[in-house]
């Protein structure tokens, strides 16, 4: 039974999404192989945050990530540029999809952190500013590490990686500008009205979609925590009184 099934199978290929080849004698190569797989985690994070928070920003960022991937798919089939000699990767090489993916993600997130989000204050302006810089550097380092991993593991040329990352940066900035920055600065503009419709239409209302950063500088995180803490404390008081009776 298995023999006849094998005989009828067509050509086999590898799913590059989760299959990475690296130098088994190099710990750096292993580390970069893990780094190059890390963007997969973002899709699960997007889905979890979208369902849990119902935040418009998260949903738009996620949708833009899909659009960015679709744009990469189109570009690869337009240019049809091969990968480097000796590369075992499948498909075309220009532009690097991993680099474009992380260019979009890091740019959109940094734009949001710079223009809208405000972290809780430590009471020291120096520490607050230092923390913001650390976050910016960490996000950028992650994106650039993924891009470099594609070169180190010989899946792309520097040219393919730089173009991919650059296209991702442009797409991330454009998506943030169109759906967040411009609607905030010019709420009566066509983009501002479009965002208002996307947030307040009957379907979004039924799904309880919200734009937390339009109301709170931290998206409502601190307020949510305070409400939880107040109820938690009341619940503990009630439990303690019941045990003492």
Q: How many CB atoms lie within 10 A of CB 87?
A: 16
194 pLDDT higher than 70: yes
| Rounded-to-integer distance, Cα 189 and Cα 179, Å | 11
Describe the chain by its helix, strand, coil percentages, rounded to 5.
70, 0, 30
Phi, then psi, of 210 in degrees rounded to 5 = -135, 160
Q: How many CB atoms lie within 10 A of CB 93?
A: 23
163 pLDDT higher than 70: yes
Residue 86: the pLDDT is: 75
Q: How many CB atoms lie within 10 A of CB 65?
A: 22
Each residue of 1-59: pLDDT tens digit? 455 555 566 665 566 666 777 777 888 888 988 899 898 889 999 999 999 999 999 99
Q: How does the average pLDDT of the chain come out, rounded?
A: 87
Each residue of 63-107: pLDDT tens digit? 999 999 999 999 999 988 888 887 767 788 899 999 999 999 999
Lowest mean pLDDT among 99-103, 107-111, 194-198, 222-226: 222-226
Phi, then psi, of 150 in degrees rounded to 5 = -70, -30
CB 46 within 8 A of CB 58: yes
**Which of the pair, 210 or 87, is modelled with greater confidence?**
210
Select from 51, 53, 46, 181 the least CA-distant residue to 101. Answer: 46
Tell me the pTM. Answer: 0.86
Token pair, residue 156, equals: 């792309």
Residue 17: the pLDDT is: 60
């Amino acid at each position: 039974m298995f023999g006849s099934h094998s005989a009828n199978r067509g050509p086999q290929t590898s799913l590059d999404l989760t299959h990475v080849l690296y130098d088994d004698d190099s710990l750096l190569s292993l580390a970069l192989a893990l780094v190059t797989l890390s963007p997969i985690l973002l899709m699960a994070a997007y889905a979890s945050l979208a369902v849990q928070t119902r935040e418009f920003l998260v949903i738009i960022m996620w949708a833009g990530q899909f659009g960015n991937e679709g744009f990469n798919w189109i570009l690869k089939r337009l240019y049809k540029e091969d990968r480097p000699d000796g590369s075992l990767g499948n498909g075309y090489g220009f532009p690097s999809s991993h680099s474009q993916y992380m260019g979009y993600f890091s740019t959109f997130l940094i734009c949001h952190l710079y223009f809208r989000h405000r972290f809780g204050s430590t009471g020291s302006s120096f520490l607050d500013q230092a923390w913001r810089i650390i976050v910016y550097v960490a996000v950028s380092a992650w994106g650039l590490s993924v891009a470099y991993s594609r070169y180190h593991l010989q899946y792309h040329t520097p040219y393919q990686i730089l173009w991919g990352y650059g296209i991702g940066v442009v797409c991330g900035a454009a998506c943030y500008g169109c759906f967040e920055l411009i609607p905030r600065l010019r709420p009566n503009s066509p983009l501002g009205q479009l965002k208002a419709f996307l947030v307040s239409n009957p379907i979004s209302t039924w799904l309880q979609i919200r734009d937390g950063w339009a109301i709170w500088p931290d998206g409502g995180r601190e307020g949510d925590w305070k409400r939880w803490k107040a109820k938690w404390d009341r619940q503990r008081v009630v439990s303690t009184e019941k045990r003492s009776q």
